[in-house]
Amino acid sequence: MYTNGSQSTIPSPRSLCTRAPMASTKFHFFLALQVLLSSTLTLAHPGLGYGWGNHGHNYYGLYPEFYEFSCPQVQDIVMTILEKAISKEPRMAASLLRLHFHDCFVQGCDASVLLDDSAMIVSEKNSGPNKNSLRGFEVIDEIKARLEEECPHTVSCADILALAARGSTVLSGGPYWQLPLGRRDSRTASLSGSNTNIPPPNSTIQNLITLFKRQGLDEIDLVALSGGHTIGMARCVTFKQRLYNQNGNNQPDETLERTYYYGLKSVCPPSGGDNNISPLDFASPKEFDNTYFKLILWGKGLLTSDQVFLTGNVEKTVELVKSYAKNPALFFDQFAKSMVKMGSMSPLTGFVGEVRENCRRIN
């Protein structure tokens, strides 16, 4: 042993004999206590067994290093599976981003959207915004199965959704952000919440602002997050009224640019074809960029809920569309910030909820 960092002090044999039993007893007591606490915390709240202090970026109990010790390979596993899935079908990136959005807007970011129908659960997959529309469940299943092999009972389905959304954005050319983790999974779902909280594609600007404000998101978040429509596709049923009966008078939406309008009519006939699809951003549908906002300025936003940022007579949203169309870096920065904000809505943490073994059903 050393005292004052320099001199060596050798205890006498007698002192060792008299102190050893008591020291040994204390050591074994604290060791047992540490093991008990560590195992309990790891099961209930993976990662927290390694310190309760401030982890820098703390969002409602979430922090990026949550799985640093309990499942350090989580990011690599998620990205490996995403790369394969998106390479096979580029559209999947947008589907996974949308899945996270539709989860967070109902009960918070708790993976309730992943639950299938059961004796106890009425699935959110049956809601108007989700039925025959949401995709990507099999990719989430694959990620979960792999993580259960590597880190059993550790990584929540809610965190997988958040990781998949960020990974899909990055793999499409979009921004990377420090992602707070530590969400737990709900044991309930809300079909009614899914039907009422998720903005419909024919929303007015005031309806969009109201629904986002209900979630604690402002106009900046609204426009930035809608920029996620820079990738992906939409079914004809979501925008057909713009082509044939926008205001109940059997006339098209006059804000649609004419050439774009005729092109959409060739994809979506007046009757039938509801499941035909068209790119939300026809100029670069696989690339996460700011073209979405440029198209809105040109009258080529696909959904009513896209174009109303310009035509809804709200000065703030008009300014934001113009700013993001002009400055892609500004859009990327705000999109990342708004994704963190949205992903931190009403998370289940600590001992609330559970970590599902299968994302489709409660344990």
Output the DSSP codes for 112-153: GGGPPP-SS---GGGSTTTTTT---HHHHHHHHHHHHHHSTT
Do the Cβ atoms of 265 and 243 come closer than 8 Å?
A: yes
Q: Which tens digit of pLDDT belongs to each residue from 314-325? A: 999 999 999 999
Please provide the distance, in angstroms rounded to a whole number, between the alpha carbons at the two ends of the chain. Answer: 51
Dist CA 82 CA 98 (whole Å):
15
What SS3 class is residue 24?
A: helix
More confident: 297 or 4:
297
Known binding residues for heme b: 229
Residue 43's pLDDT band, with cuts at 50, 70 and 90, is: very low
For residue 216, give both structure tokens.
């604690």
CA distance 288 to 229: 9
Query: Which residues are known to be catalytic?
Result: 102
Least trusted range by pLDDT, from 38-52, 75-89, 211-225, 314-328: 38-52
Classify residue 2 by burial, with Cβ atoms within 10 Å: 0-12, 13-18, 19+. Answer: exposed
Q: For residue 40, is pLDDT > 90?
A: no
Q: Tens digits of per-residue pLDDT, 69-109?
A: 999 999 999 999 999 999 999 999 999 999 999 999 999 99
- H helices of the chain, where? 13-44, 74-88, 92-104, 137-150, 157-171, 191-197, 205-214, 219-226, 240-244, 258-267, 291-297, 304-311, 315-326, 328-343
Using 50, 70 and 90 to split pLDDT, how confident is the model at 205? very high
What single-letter DSSP state applies at residue 315? H
162 compared with 12, residue with greater pLDDT: 162
| Predicted local distance difference test score (pLDDT) of residue 61 | 85
Residue 56 has pLDDT above 80, yes or no: no
Whether 185 has a pLDDT exceeding 60, the answer reads: yes
Q: What is the mean pLDDT of the chain?
A: 87
The pLDDT of residue 34 is above 70 = no
- What value does the mean pLDDT take over residues 54-76? 81
> What DSSP character marks residue 279?
E
Query: Quick one: what percent of the chain has pLDDT higher than 90?
Result: 82
Categorize the per-residue pLDDT at 59 as very low, low, confident or very high, splitting at 50, 70 and 90.
low
**What mean pLDDT comes out for the span 153-160?**
98
- On the question of pLDDT at 53 being above 90, the answer is no
Contact yes or no for 246/280 (Cβ under 8 A): no
Q: pLDDT band at residue 57, thresholds of 50, 70 and 90? A: very low
Is the model's pLDDT at 226 over the cut of 90?
Answer: yes
d(CA 287, CA 174): 8
Burial of 3 (C-beta count, 10 Å sphere; 0-12/13-18/19+): exposed
Closest CA to 104 of 358, 349, 346, 351: 346
pLDDT level of residue 25 (50, 70, 90 thresholds): very low
Average pLDDT over residues 147-151: 97
Identify which of 132, 133, 154 has the alpha carbon closest to the alpha carbon of residue 143. Answer: 154
Mean pLDDT throughout 295-315? 97
- Residue 6's pLDDT is what? 34
Residue 321 is predicted with a pLDDT of: 98
- pLDDT tops 60 at residue 278: yes
Residue 282 has pLDDT above 70, yes or no: yes
Residue 136 has pLDDT above 60, yes or no: yes
Q: Is the pLDDT of residue 38 over 50?
A: no
> At a CB cut-off of 8 Å and minimum separation 6, what does 143 contact?
77, 78, 81, 82, 160, 163, 164
Contact 355, 154 (CB under 8 A): yes
Which residue numbers belong to the known binding site for Ca(2+)? 103, 106, 108, 110, 112, 124, 230, 281, 289
In 151-290, alpha helices (H): 157-171, 191-197, 205-214, 219-226, 240-244, 258-267
Mean pLDDT of 150-159: 98
Binding-site members for substrate are 199
- Residue 62, classed as helix, strand or coil, is strand
C-alpha–C-alpha distance, residues 222 and 245, integer Å: 26
